[in-house]
Amino acid sequence: MKEEFKRNPVTLFLLSLTSLLFLLMQLLYFGQATSVQAVITFGGLYGEILKIFPNQAWRLITPIFVHIGWEHFIFNALSLYFIGRIAEQIWGSGRFLLLYILAGLSGNIFVFFFEPSVVEAGASTSLFGLFAAVAIIGYFGSNPMLRQLGRSYVVLIVLNLVFNLVTPGISLSGHLGGLIGGALCAVFLPTLYEANTFSRTQRLSALLVYLALMATMLFAAFS
């Protein structure tokens, strides 16, 4: 366990924080932890509230750590454990944490813009961002293992998006936002092993596109 923590401290921290919040929800809202009140109290996103109280902009990040029901939590926790360890080894702990937060933020901004009347929570915005980021690095990089992994993640992304389309109650906009944010982050956040995969101009362009897209959508959503 000590060796695991040394290798993947951020993954285990994110998993521990997510698990702790979920268990607290179960204790404080026993039998009603999936209610709208419980989700919003613990930091879920509801765009209509955010429009009225813009000082609660932290709700664009906190939903990453909040989950609605055991199935939702277990699926995302397992996904975080497996993809998180891979991504943390690729980007390093600090950049991996930034990637996770920025992808989740992007997904939540998409939800705020496209579905302001929906109560949203879950790590899947960040997880879709991680899948997209690894796929981008695999496609443009030269590492054969990452290339193979990237191709498998592309298939996984497509299957999940199709599943989103036919399954009610799943936020397609949040997942698309996470994908776009993660893909852009993969360009401007250099990896540990192939830091020169993208040029300085490409990195700067991706960063500016990310910032401009998020700022434009936020401005439009609040307006």
Strands (E), the chain: 45-46, 119-120
Q: Are 135 and 127 in contact (CB under 8 A)?
A: no
193 vs 145: CA distance, rounded Å: 12
Taking the C-alpha atoms of residue 144 and residue 158, their distance in angstroms, rounded to an integer, is: 22
Confidence (pLDDT) at 216 = 97
Which residues are known to be catalytic?
124, 175
With b for 16 or more beta-carbon neighbours within 10 A and e for fewer, the 163-200 pattern comes to ebeeeeeebebbbbbbbbbbbbbbbbbbbeeeeebbee
- Cα separation of the two ends of the chain: 49
**CA atoms 109, 112, 118, 120: torsion sign:** positive
Per-residue pLDDT of the chain (223 residues), as tens digits, is 677 777 899 999 999 999 999 999 999 998 898 999 999 999 999 999 999 999 999 999 999 999 999 999 999 999 999 999 999 999 999 999 999 999 999 999 999 999 999 999 999 999 999 999 999 998 888 888 888 877 887 877 777 777 766 666 677 899 999 999 999 999 999 999 877 889 999 999 999 999 999 999 999 999 8
**Model pLDDT, residue 167:** 63
Which pair of tokens denotes residue 126? Answer: 């960040």
103, 125 Cβ separation under 8 angstroms: yes
pTM to 2 decimals? 0.93
Domains of the chain: 2-222 (1.20.1540.10)
- How far is 128 from 176, CA to CA, in rounded Å? 8
Contact 150, 137 (CB under 8 A): yes
